[in-house]
Chains A and B, each alone.
Chain A
């Protein structure tokens, strides 16, 4: 079964050859936090321009020449398709190489791939966005989309957990969103010293402290799998149905078009059927321990 929020096949068909990387040039590099960089890239030709139209939750395969290719979620604004923005933490050979790129360098891109966050399903409801660590990056396009059409939604809440204050991603933007009063922003860190005057505690505690109606709320969670599991359970403890809780999964991918099977997760191919799933779809898979 493919998730209801999958991209219609006619849209995928308009994209260039999904297996052939298109050239993109790095135009801006910003170090966000230690080891984590945001790259802004622009297409080098008309074919490459077609890769810039995406929806929140989708990802591209980014090829670093001479190093390899990895999937990276888009962290930019879908309403600005002239360029693509990716936020990358260097945790392996290719991602470290990506964080060392400079303005003017070239990369190859394929995509966009995967399904999307159920942004439309949240219309008329309260929307709770829960991010942990670097998980705020793949959720950011959703935030842009929701705020661009803010009148469609009731309450919008962003709950964000990080290890320490210095690990908080997009700090300036979080402050801005908070000031704009269009969204309730709750931030918590696992530990801090006296210089931090914000909340200390796990992100599930923010969920417990937040007032919301479980029957008219849709939740989207992004972060490490264990954080998403704890958060989904905290929401279900408050009465939410797993049908209305969405998570974004992450696995190593190769082809990104559902051919190679590298990212198979139970009955699903992460690249094609995901990366966004309702918690109802994956709850049982979460219980399976990897060998």
Chain B
């Protein structure tokens, strides 16, 4: 269910990320709307191979987010006015209140703070760590609330210079979901192991 939060998480990445945490968050504020192509690699413990999806993310403000899947099937997920809607070709739309998934709601609040450039609100929900070298930086958010931490281990944003490349969500049960954004999404063939994905995100030599 955490993958439903990816559109929200993406929104954070459309912002430029300066090296210092407070300054970084302050500059994360981003005018809506914005959209970008993504490559999603999702590692599910039930499956032998990761799910690989391509599509477009669409940010229209903290309250309104969209994630479109173009391949290998077509699907549109939108979060608007507290309701999550999943539409898949040939199926009746599936709707539910975002409150039904408290984690999703908490993440939405967290990224509302991130996108609003509100370091204080972000800090209330997450511990924020930054690691950087000459080329890359890595922003790690860990939820403070026990209920959320029981589901989500960490949210990790990788980027270089002013450009976010990857957004990764590490779930407590070991599953992981990585979104490669913009130029990083154009890689072909897509990375299929966790090591390959990490190397690609951090621009390490393969």
A-B complex is real: no
Name B residues whose Cβ lies closer than 8 Å to a Cβ of A.
Answer: none
Name A residues whose Cβ lies closer than 8 Å to a Cβ of B.
Answer: none
